[in-house]
Amino acid sequence: LGSSLYMSGYRLGNMLASGGGLIMADYMSWAAVYSIMALCMVIGIVTTLFTPEPVTAPGTPATLKAAVIEPFVEYFRRSGAIWMLAFILLYMVGDMMASAITTPFYLDIGFTKTEIGAVVKIFGTWAIIGGAVIGGTTIVKLGINKCLWIFGFLQAISTAGFALLARIGHNIVAFSGVIAFENLSMGMGTAAFLAFMASITDKRFTATQYALLSSLMAVPRVIISAPTGYLAKIMGWESFFILCTLIAIPGMLLLLKFAPWNADK
């Protein structure tokens, strides 16, 4: 549930800062706009100051070595640590690969910048927030493992929706439907994935190990952005998005090892 609240707050803040900031800039100076945005940060700061500290786990590190080096050593001593990293790298790679080049895709099949802004940036943001909320509540009821399976499957299917849109072409109803499904599934999948990464950290080293795992989660987005344009050019949009769908399979197969359906988690 915490991961879904984090995602919802992040996306809502992002939308208000980008969209709301531009609107305010028409009526006041940029200095005033940024001052208002900075004041909004006070809410989070005050909340943090008044939030009680969590119970400290026994053996909490007291030195820099214990806080930085030992968490890495502890993680890599685990059985299957490398395969776990492979799972983290691969679970959302298909969705990330497709998302890296969606704006050129929308423009290429005839959507205007206004249509893209309205559907993707406004409607799509609310869909992600909705997905995060649905994901968080579903995790509480079904558990992390089952949600990783369900949401991972939905993410793969939603990626295939781009291939369908490539065939349909410029159709605002189809566009809205694909974005709604894609962003809902992304919100749900990311909430489950963040919860999973938090659950596998050693309670003594939660901050360091979570930072390691969440950083690795972002690596595919950086690496795969480079070849996506080239692949789309030589394959065509429809085949490219089908490839992105198929790339999700290895990550799903690794769920058999790290998040079996019937496991108590």
- Over residues 88-127, the pLDDT tens digits come to 888 888 888 888 888 899 999 999 888 887 888 778 888 8
pTM of the predicted model, to two decimals? 0.76
* 122 in a structural domain: yes
d(CA 123, CA 119): 5
d(CA 96, CA 188): 14
Distances (CA, A) of 157 to 96, 105, 126, 244, 254: 14, 18, 20, 10, 18
d(CA 95, CA 131): 15
* 76 in a structural domain: yes
Distances (CA, A) of 251 to 12, 25, 148, 255, 259: 29, 44, 10, 7, 11
Total residue count of the chain as it appears in this document: 265
pLDDT tens string 40-71? 888 888 988 888 876 665 656 667 777 778 88
Q: Per-residue pLDDT averaged across 229-254, rounded?
A: 92
* 61 in a structural domain: yes
* 264 in a structural domain: no
* 265 in a structural domain: no
Q: At residue 177, does pLDDT exceed 90?
A: yes
pLDDT tens string 11-27? 677 766 666 776 677 78
Where residue 112 sits, what CATH number does that domain have? 1.20.1250.20
* 263 in a structural domain: no
Range of the domain at 106: 2-258
* 90 in a structural domain: yes
What's the structural domain count of the chain?
A: 1
* 67 in a structural domain: yes
DSSP reduced 3-state for 241: helix
